[in-house]
Amino acid sequence: MRPSRLHAAARFIRSVAAILFAAIVAAPVAIAQPALGSSKSSVQNCEGTNLKATLAFSEVYAGGALITIAVVNVGVSACRLSGYPRLLGIRDGHEYPLAKVTHGTQDLNLRPALLAPRLSGAFIIDTPLGCNASNGPTEASDRYSGVVLILPLESGHVRVDDVPLYTPCGLGESSLGWAKGFQFD
C-alpha cells in the first residue's frame, strides 16, 4: 500500500474507533439519566446484588443532620429504584435493627427512578431537629458507623460503611429514588 493510502486508511480506522468509543461510552451516559416516572413499567425493581452504595454528602446543622447516600446500578440492565427500605445500623461489625425510623425527611422527597447501568439514585436519612451528637451526652448504643438498606419487597440489601449515625431521637428516611434538580456535589 502506498504511503498516502496507508495514512488515509489509518485516519479512517481512527475515525471509526472514535465513533465506536463515543457510542459505547457517551451514548449510555446521555440516554441513562435517572428517569422520573410512574410506578407502572416493565422494568424490574432493583435488587441488592445489582446495587452499590456510598456516602455522598453529610451535613450537621443546628440541631440535626442530613445524610445523602448515592445508590449506583452496577448491573447490566436498567432497574427501578423506589420505596422505603428497612434500616439496620452497623456497630462493631454487627447489624442492629433501627426501631425509630419514620417515612419522610424534613427537606426533600425522592420519586421513583429508572436507573440504567452505571447511574445513581439516592437515599436520604435525617435526624429530627434538636437532636444531634453535639447537643449533649451520647450513649454508645445510639451511635452507628454504617447502615444496611433492606430493599423493599425483600429484594436484597445494600451495605453502606462509613456512614455515621446518631439515633437517640430516631431517624427520618426518604424513599429510594431521585428528585428533579437533585445532584451530588
Query: How far, in Å, CA of 108 to CA of 179, rounded?
Result: 8
Is the pTM higher than 0.85? The answer reads no
| 84-120 confidence digits (pLDDT tens) | 999 999 999 999 999 889 998 876 779 999 999 999 9
Query: How far, in Å, CA of 114 to CA of 178, rounded?
Result: 9
Query: How far, in Å, CA of 81 to CA of 175, rounded?
Result: 9
Cβ neighbours of residue 94 closer than 8 Å, sequence gap 6 or more? none
pLDDT band at 34 (very low <50, low <70, confident <90, very high): very low
- Look at 78 and 132; give whichever has higher pLDDT: 78
Identity at 154, one-letter amino acid code: E
Helical (H) or strand (E) element with 151: none
pLDDT band at 38 (very low <50, low <70, confident <90, very high): very low
Query: How far, in Å, CA of 114 to CA of 120, rounded?
Result: 9
| 120-179 confidence digits (pLDDT tens) | 999 999 887 766 555 555 677 788 999 999 999 989 999 999 998 888 888 999 999 998
Query: How far, in Å, CA of 78 to CA of 124, rounded?
Result: 22
Dihedral sign, Cα of residue 97, residue 100, residue 101, residue 107: negative
- Look at 53 and 4; give whichever has higher pLDDT: 53
Query: How far, in Å, CA of 143 to CA of 182, rounded?
Result: 28
Instruction: Quote the cell numbers at residue 38.
Output: 410512574
Instruction: Quote the cell numbers at residue 141.
Output: 448504643
Among 10-14, 54-58, 87-91, 97-101, which range has the highest average pLDDT?
Answer: 87-91
- Is the per-residue pLDDT at 22 higher than 70? no
Q: Do 123 and 147 touch, CB atoms closer than 8 A?
A: no
Instruction: Quote the cell numbers at residue 163.
Output: 456512614
